[in-house]
Structure formats: structure tokens, C-alpha cells
């Protein structure tokens, strides 16, 4: 779906455990500067007031009445009914009728969804998915992709899936909850305990032999890992290596079911130079069998689309000519079954905004 020329305006919000980021979108473009307010994650009254004030401030910056409010909010939530159930990163919210509150205040339709869902929706509409398909077209490849899985890396570990322009939400608004997959390295824990800000800090603190209170933030740990800042380099590299291995394991399970390229966003995605090779390594790893023969973990080959050589191989594919049985005719096809993994082309907040915009207009048009 293409809303790039649509003149309707939708107010959006990217709600994280730390900050609320507000904007207004028209024609797939943000038309106001973003406004950031504190999430006040443990004080419901203050948090709700900031949501109301944030949207009011955005409205004061646009010239006509918005058609809807559409935004991302952490789960678990009953998204179709707009009720926030019990998000771990926003503990103040317990069974909050957020949609109904906002519709009463602003008198326009309100749509709420998961941040992972809206992130991948935005990237599928005007970011990562059209980017790789355009690259394939320019290279002369007949290969095209219609599906996309997206993950967000930050306070938590989010996910979402789009196929043929449709967002998969699930019957309980619980599709794409990759954070609840098993942690490969800690079997009794979920993946988010290894894929989050707290996970990076925990591993660094343990290997650097320092307390968590003295542990730097992941941005600084990344700088230590690449030699731009003083600190325990081995501990920093290990923190992101383990981070990447667990991501690779969960993505392997995911693409086994969904068979799609993967786009990565969120605040921690900026450290991709260290962790992304580990993701690709894990996804291209092999299983043992009782016969002693190793088999590929995935039916498809996975390529790092942030690496020049890998990208060239991905675009080129493996073209073959084969004979049609009982015929002299030959046909050519690309025999390389493959997917690519890469970083957001829009930036996470913008992707969420565009996803929220498209979701709202699609619902209004129904």
C-alpha cells in the first residue's frame, strides 16, 4: 500500500520504557519535529498526562485536524481493543483503557499496536524491503521479497512480521513476541534476558569484575569494544558476541517458520558491526545428527547486508540453466535460496511512525 501522496495527518507516538516520542505524519513523512517526554514508567497519572500533553503539543504545530492517533505501545496488551494489560517496561500500566481515554479527549479514532509490529510495517512499506528489492532489480536479479520480519533491540526485545503488505497480529495480539523464545545459553530463561540493555551490562560487569552500578551504558561498552574508550575490551567484545549469538538463535527459529528477510532496529542496533557477524554465524551454523552427519540449520543461506562482499553474493545469487525433462528446451533460474539480514533504513522511530500512519489509514479505509 502506498500512502506517500495521502494528505491525511496522523498523530504518532513511539512509547518506550524510558521516553515517549511524539510526531505527526502526512504522506509517509514526519511533518513536525519530534517531541520527547519522560515515560514516567512507574507513575500512571504522570505518564498518562505526558501522553495527553505530547499529543496536544503536536496538534498545536499542525495546520489542520488530524484524522487519527496511531502509535506503538509495549505489550502484553489487547491492541484491537486498545487496553494496555501489563507491559514489563511500563509497570504503572495495568489494565488501562488507553484507546478509550484518548478518543474521549481528542474525538478522533485511536489505534494502538506493538512497537515491533509497527517498526517492521514501516520498513516493509518504505524502508528495508523496498530497498533490497530495488537493489535486486538494479542487479538484474529476478528475485523479489514480499515478507519481512523485524526486531527491535533496546530496553526489551521486540518483533513483528509483515507478509504481502499485511501485518500479522495474531488472535491474541501476541504474534511476533520473539522476546519469549528460549535463551540458547540460559535454558530456563527467555531470550530477552540475553538480548537487552540489561543483558549487555550484566555480561560486561561479570567479565570486567565490577558491580552493575559501576557498569557503563551499552553505547560506552560498544566504544570500549572498538577501542574508542578505555575499559575492559575483552569483556565488551564478549558482551556483544553473546548478544549476537542469542539473537541469531531466535532468528533462526523465526525464519524457519516465516522464511523472510530480517531488519534490525532499536537503540542497540548501532553496535551491529560487532554483533551482526555473530548473528549470521549462528544462523548459518549446522546441526549434529545421530548418524554423525551435520546438516544446515536452515534451508536458506543467510547474508549480512551490512557487509559489502555478502551483499554482492546476495544480489548475484546462483543462476543456472537446466533442461526441461523430455524436451530440448532449457530454462534459467536462480537456485540460491537466501535471505538477508540488515539494519533499519529509516531509523527506528521514523519506521514506527510510518508504520503507525499506514496502519491507521488502512483501518480507516476499511
Domain co-membership, 85 together with 29:
yes
Residue 283 sits in a domain of what CATH number? Answer: 3.30.420.40
pLDDT score at 39: 95
| Percent of the chain predicted with pLDDT > 70 | 100
Tens digits of residue pLDDT in 298-319: 999 999 999 999 999 999 999 9
Examine residue 122 and state whether it is found in any structural domain, yes or no.
no
- Paired sense of beta strands 301-304 and 330-334, if any: unpaired
Q: Which domain holds residue 23?
A: 9-115+352-365
Q: Verify that 180 and 88 share a domain, yes or no.
A: no
Q: 265 and 360 in one domain?
A: no
Q: Does residue 182 share a domain with residue 89? A: no
Phi, psi (degrees; rounded to nearest 5) at 137: -65, -45
Residues 74, 148: one domain?
Answer: no
Same domain, 162 and 252: yes
Burial of 326 (0-12, 13-18, 19+ CB in 10 A): exposed
Q: Does residue 120 belong to any structural domain of this protein?
A: no
Asked if 55 and 133 sit in the same domain, the reply is no
Number of domains in the chain: 2
**Residue 190 falls inside a structural domain:** yes
Determine the Cα–Cα distance for residues 347 and 190; give it in Å rounded to an integer: 27
Inform me whether the pLDDT recorded for 1 exceeds 70.
no
- 164 with 269, same domain? yes
Residue 301 lies in a domain: yes
Instruction: Indicate if the alpha-carbon torsion angle 62, 65, 69, 70 is positive or negative.
Output: negative
Question: Same domain, yes or no, for 38 and 143?
Answer: no
Dump the DSSP string for 218-241. HHHHHHHHTTSS-S-HHHHHHHHH
pLDDT band per the 50, 70, 90 thresholds, residue 84: very high
In a domain, 217, yes or no: yes
Q: Are residues 328 and 207 in the same domain?
A: yes
Let me know if residue 4 belongs to a domain.
no
Domain presence at residue 121: no
Average pLDDT over residues 15-25: 88
Amino acid at each position: 500500500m502506498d500512502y506517500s501522496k495521502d494528505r491525511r495527518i496522523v498523530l504518532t507516538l513511539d512509547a518506550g520504557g524510558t521516553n515517549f516520542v511524539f510526531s505527526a505524519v502526512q504522506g509517509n513523512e514526519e511533518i513536525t519535529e519530534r517531541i520527547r517526554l519522560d515515560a514516567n514508567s512507574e507513575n500512571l497519572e504522570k505518564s498518562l498526562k505526558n501522553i495527553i500533553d505530547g499529543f496536544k503539543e503536536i496538534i498545536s504545530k499542525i495546520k489542520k485536524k488530524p484524522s487519527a492517533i496511531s502509535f506503538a505501545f509495549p505489550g502484553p496488551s489487547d491492541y484491537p481493543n486498545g487496553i494496555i494489560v501489563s507491559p514489563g517496561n511500563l509497570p504503572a500500566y495495568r489494565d488501562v483503557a488507553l484507546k478509550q481515554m484518548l478518543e474521549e479527549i481528542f474525538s478522533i479514532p485511536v489505534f494502538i499496536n506493538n512497537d515491533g509490529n509497527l517498526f517492521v510495517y514501516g520498513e516493509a512499506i518504505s524502508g528495508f524491503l523496498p530497498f533490497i528489492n530495488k537493489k535486486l532489480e538494479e542487479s538484474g536479479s529476478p528475485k523479489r521479497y514480499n515478507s519481512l520480519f523485524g526486531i527491535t533491540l533496546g530496553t526489551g526485545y521486540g518483533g513483528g512480521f509483515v507478509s504481502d503488505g499485511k501485518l500479522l497480529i495474531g488472535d491474541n495480539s501476541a504474534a511476533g513476541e520473539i522476546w519469549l523464545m528460549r535463551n540458547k545459553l540460559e535454558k530456563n530463561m527467555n531470550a530477552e534476558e540475553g538480548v537487552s540493555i540489561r543483558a549487555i551490562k550484566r555480561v560486561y560487569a561479570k567479565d570486567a569484575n565490577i558491580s552493575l552500578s559501576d557498569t557503563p551504558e551499552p553505547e560506552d561498552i560498544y566504544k570500549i569494544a572498538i577501542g574508542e574508550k578505555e575499559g575492559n575490551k575483552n569483556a565488551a567484545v564478549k558482551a556483544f558476541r553473546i548478544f549476537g549469538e542469542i539473537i541469531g538463535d531466535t532468528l533462526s527459529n523465526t525464519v524457519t517458520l516465516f522464511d523472510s528477510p530480517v531488519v534490525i532496529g532499536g537503540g542497540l542496533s548501532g553496535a551491529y558491526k560487532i554483533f551482526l557477524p555473530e548473528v549470521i554465524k549462528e544462523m548459518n551454523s549446522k546441526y549434529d545428527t545421530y548418524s554423525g552427519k551435520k546438516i544446515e540449520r536452515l534451508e536458506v543461506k543467510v547474508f549480512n547486508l551490512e557487509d559489502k562482499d555478502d551483499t554482492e553474493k546476495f544480489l548475484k545469487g546462483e543462476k543456472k540453466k537446466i533442461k526441461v525433462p523430455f524436451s530440448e528446451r532449457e530454462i534459467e533460474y536462480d537456485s540460491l535460496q537466501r535471505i538477508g539480514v540488515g539494519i533499519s533504513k529509516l531509523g527506528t522511530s521514523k519506521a514506527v511512525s510510518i508504520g503507525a500512519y499506514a496502519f491507521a489509514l488502512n483501518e480507516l479505509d476499511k
